Amino acid sequence: MTTSEGNGPVLSIRDLAVALPAGADRRYAVEGVSFDVGPGEIVCVVGESGSGKSVTAFSVMGLLAKGELAAERGEILLEGEDVLKASPERLRDLRGTRMAMIFQEPATALNPVMTIGDQIDEVLQIHTTLSPAERREKVIAIMEAMHLPDPQALYDRYPHQLSGGQRQRVMIAAAMVLDPVILIADEPTTALDVTTQAQILQLIKEMQERRRTGVLFITHDFGVVAEIADKVVVMRHGAIVEQGPAAEIFANPKVDYTRMLIASVPSLEPPSREPAMGPVAVETHDLVKGYGGKSWLGRATQPAFLAAKDVNLVVRRGETLGIVGESGSGKSTVARCIVRLVDPTSGAIEIAGTDIAGLSTRALRPYRRRVQMVFQDPYRSLNPRRTVGASVMEGAMNFGLSHEDALARAQRLMGLVGLSPDALDRYPHQFSGGQRQRIAIARALAMEPDVLIADEAVSALDVSVQKQVLELLDQVKREFDLALLFITHDLRVAAQICDRIAVMRRGEVVEEGPTRELFLNPRHEYTRTLLAAAPGRHLGHAVAAE
Amino acid sequence: MPLLVLQRLVSTIPVLLVVAVVVFLMLRVSGDPAAIIAGDTATSAQIEAVRQAFGFDRPIWEQFLAWIGQVLQGDLGESLFTGLPVTTLIAQRIEPTLMLALTTIVFSVLVAVPLGVLAAWRSGTWIDRAVMVFAVLGFSVPVFVLGYGFMYVFSIELRLLPVQGYTSPFEDFGAFAQGIILPTLTLSCIYVALIARITRASVLETLNEDYIRTARAKGQVERTVLFRHALRNAAVPIVTVIGLGVALLIGGVVVTESVFNIPGLGRLVVDAITRRDYPIIQGLILFFALIYVVLNLMIDLAYTMLDPRIRY
């Protein structure tokens, strides 16, 4: 399991068992976990939520939630030293110097009120006796190594002034500034756009090659694994089900679970689809949404920034139109305009032949029912203090349905989205992410809409769950003859479900066409960039070829 | 930053103008101002004389302009009873109030913020519960009960501190310090309770944030995690409550000054109201409004310094 040079592993986990608090659904969060990470080796720990992959990573750092989780057995050897036996002081010494960690969401992992430079510098302040000038020099150097633009200027900026990719680079800079022997990366690219994800993966590879850092990479996405892993550890229900060299795992997965995870990675091969011929459900004409441009006294002037520029889209009933783009491309703005969560600056939005772009709140009300939305984060889009039933039934009852009828409809919909009708009496926190998204879909369907907008509706879900929710969306679209507007940053996902795709960039639609055509013959360069960045793009072929 | 301060200062003008109009009308809507000023036993000839002297016979907008002109020149009129200018009276009384407010806020913040952070850090333990029990008590016990209680224990039984009165720190600092302890403790209780509670809640929330985990992953010691990372992110609600506390202090000062017989603005207000000394009441309302506005401005500026994401 060591690298070709024959060095010992930098990290060696032996028979690790972490106990869950009493009353949990199982006794151990992880049990019997053993694997090694060699110098300059990238080990991917793959599994769904609840598989224990993050618990394993946090155990190494000694960052398990105090009083809730505790390592009960086994050892974690960092360069031969058992960190489970280390004192809190010793652990603090090791963190940041010998081992370092980066996290899923760089936007929240950085302190919003400290400058970028100070946050990297903090590691040096804690662990070194360098002078302020020496520290600054070192910080600038590591920022340069992370390919951050203009480090001198960036040093005094705050996290909110940076892009998501830059923030993750800052996190990596802080982690790498003292050259640790192991970098633990907990889903570091899950919250990023595909193109940014590709760049960050590239950067991590570079670290591993140039600095010979061992990398423990946690992910749920076999597409990402295919991009970077030397070795793969597959976890399920707190135990390792399979491990081995990446090539071997992909070529010859031994257990069904691994095969299922690999198969869940959406391939870039769109199935061919019949063009939809239904009546037009929603249509936008030269839709524009501008922001800013308010004068001192609050009077509107020319917008300072256009989030959407002259967007023309048509969605027919029974058709799925994908809007694909990165964050800031304006794809969500278009969706929010169509639902009239925001008011468009100019242009028309026709629903069933009526332009709703300028309708007053009162005149708009009958159209509200016709367009429904499913949001990205199922953890925050359902009211935690109301039962699922209350959330699902509320909208329909607002539009005049009696309690009995609404309840009957809600029960029918629960069955349709694959949940039991008694789910209606429970609260959102009792459900998993995938189940919550099913509830959110049921809530939207309870309004009997013509148009369903799914705004990054599967982005927060594990790939395996993602696949099931995509299938559900496709199924309800056919069953209710819906016009489905599917918004995503991930072309792989769009390939699976969309009949047509519009690619957006900086507020403009740069290319639009039938999915298969767009994938086989991308005309715009930006579309080609997006395609090239999709993780695991070769995976589909590999599995298909078997 | 200077531009921001200027902008905010300019935007306070309408607020102060509204206050000025209300204060001006206060006297006019409560009956015939001339009759009020002349007093209950005045004859109609005396009332007429007052009307002439104060210009109440002129059109109301003319009166307002004349009055606001005076106010802008710093002339708030004269007391109906002593004949002394209101500005002089305020100047005489401001020092004790200012000192009491200052000691109270400094003491409250110094005690409450660490208590709140400690309670959040050790949430769920007996330390947390003890702090919270104290916070509930601090809220519930009325100021005058506390004041007389402290006075009884420390001044009358233990004979450690003076019972009442005020000495200026510029005359005799030792006497000032001795005299200010009990009023400060009395007035602080409710603020310590309030600020500690908010600090606890706010810090507890930030302790769950991802960047706290990041700080720990860097190997940061717990104390720095708490005070550098958690507290500063928790600061906006805390500063808001401190600012509001200072504003509300003016109300608390009235009772405390009466209990401890301190010749401050609170006492001036009480005396003016019981004697219906309108110019003093008007002047004090304007003065307090100005303080509120300035305080609010300072809170807003503090926000922008504490949280770089906040811009106006």
What are the residue boundaries of the structural domains of chain A, listed by start? 39-59+87-264, 317-344+356-545
Question: Is A453's pLDDT higher than 90?
Answer: yes
CATH level 2 (architecture), domain B87-306? Orthogonal Bundle (1.10)
A18 C-beta neighbours (distance < 10 Å), count: 22
Residue-level pLDDT at A540: 52
Q: Residue A546's pLDDT band (boundaries 50, 70, 90)?
A: very low
User: How do residues A53-74 score in pLDDT, each as one tens digit?
Assistant: 989 999 999 988 777 788 889 9
What is the mean predicted confidence (pLDDT) over A389-414? Answer: 91
CB atoms within 10 A of CB A420: 10
What are the start and end residues of each CATH 1.10.3720.10 domain in chain B? 87-306
Q: How far apart are CA B194 and CA B288, in angstroms?
A: 22
Q: Tell me how far the alpha carbon of residue A231 is from its chain's centroid.
A: 23
**pLDDT level of residue A83 (50, 70, 90 thresholds):** very high
Mean pLDDT of chain A: 88
With beta carbons less than 8 A apart as the criterion, state whether B195 and B241 touch. Answer: yes
**How many angstroms away from the CA of B295 is the closest CA of chain A?**
23
CA distances from B264 to A499, B78, B151, B162, B233 (A): 78, 18, 19, 18, 37
B311 CB within 8 Å of a chain A CB:
no
* Residue A503 near residue A311 (C-beta atoms within 8 A): no
Q: Which long-range contacts (CB under 8 A, 24 or more apart) does B253-257 make?
A: B253/B97, B253/B100, B253/B101, B253/B187, B255/B143, B255/B144, B255/B147, B256/B100, B256/B143, B256/B147, B256/B183, B256/B186, B256/B187, B257/B96, B257/B97, B257/B100, B257/B183
Q: Which of A211-215, B41-45, B91-95, B259-263 has the lowest mean pLDDT?
A: B41-45
**Torsion sign over Cα A272, A278, A280, A282:** negative
First to last CA, chain B: 11
Q: Does B218 touch chain A (CB under 8 A)?
A: yes
Please tell me the CATH code under which domain A317-344+356-545 is placed: 3.40.50.300
* Average pLDDT value for residue range A246-263: 91
Calculate mean pLDDT across residues A293-297. 55
Which residues are registered as beta bridge partners of A485? A321, A453
Indicate yes or no: CB of A123 within 8 angstroms of CB of B229. no
Q: H or E segment at A137?
A: helix A132-145
Using the CB atoms, write b or e for A358-397: b if 16+ within 10 Å: ebeeeeeeebbbbbbbbbbbbeebbeeeeebbebbbbbbe
How far is residue A467's CA from residue A457's CA, in Å, rounded to a whole number?
12
Q: Are strands A231-236 and A42-46 parallel, antiparallel or unpaired?
A: parallel
Residue of A nearest to B233 (CA): A113
Q: Which two tokens stand for residue A288?
A: 């524009």
Per-residue b/e over A95-109, b at no fewer than 16 CB within 10 Å? bbbbbbbbbbbbbbb
ipTM of the complex: 0.79
Residue A231 has pLDDT above 80, yes or no: yes
Give me the pLDDT at residue A300, please.
Answer: 55
Task: Give tens-digit pLDDT for B219-242.
Answer: 999 999 998 899 989 998 899 898
Distance between CA A5 and CA A214 in Å, rounded? 14
Topology (CATH level 3) of domain A39-59+87-264: Rossmann fold (3.40.50)
Considering only CA atoms, which of A203, A197, A149, A136 is closest in space to residue A176? A203
Overall average pLDDT of the B62-77 stretch: 85
User: Chain B closest CA to A114's CA: distance in Å?
Assistant: 8
pLDDT value of residue B45: 84
Chain A: give the shortest CA distance to residue B218, in Å.
5
Q: Is the pLDDT of residue A384 over 80?
A: yes
Tens-place pLDDT, residues A271-289: 878 887 888 989 999 999 8
Nearest CA in chain B to A101: B217
Alpha-carbon gap, residue B263 to B256, rounded angstroms = 11
Q: Which phi and psi angles does A486 have, rounded to 5°?
A: -110, 115
- Rounded to a whole number of angstroms, the distance from the CA of B114 to the nearest CA of chain A is 20
Q: What residues of B are in contact with residue A118 (Cβ under 8 Å)?
A: none
pLDDT at A134: 95
B67 phi and psi, to 5 degrees?
A: -65, -45
**pLDDT of amino acid B243:** 87
Contact flag A97-B213 (C-beta cutoff 8 Å): no
- State how far the Cα of A287 lies from the Cα of A280, in Å rounded to an integer: 17
pLDDT tens sequence across B89-124: 888 888 898 899 899 999 999 999 999 999 999 888
- Tell me if A70 sits within 8 A of A246, measured CB to CB: no
Does residue B10 belong to the interface with chain A, where contact is any CB pair within 8 Å? no
Mean pLDDT of A91-98: 93
Residue B215's pLDDT is 94
Same-fold call for A39-59+87-264 versus A317-344+356-545: yes
Helix (H, G, I), strand (E, B) or coil at A375: coil
Is residue A167 pLDDT above 70, yes or no? yes
Residue of A nearest to B211 (CA): A109
| Residue range A384-394: mean pLDDT, rounded | 91
Looking at residues A86-92, what average pLDDT do you find? 92
Q: Which of B3, B125, B218, B239 to mutate to test the interface with A (most CBs of A within 10 A)?
A: B218
Single-letter amino acid, residue A492:
R
pLDDT at A110 over 90: yes
Q: Which residue of B has its CA nearest to A126?
A: B220
Distance CA A81, CA A94 (A): 10
Taking the Cβ of residue B113 and every Cβ of chain A, the question of whether any pair is shorter than 8 Å is answered with no
CA B214 to chain centre: 39
Record: contact A123-B219, CB cut-off 8 A: yes
Interface test with B, best of A54, A58, A113 (most B CBs within 10 A): A113
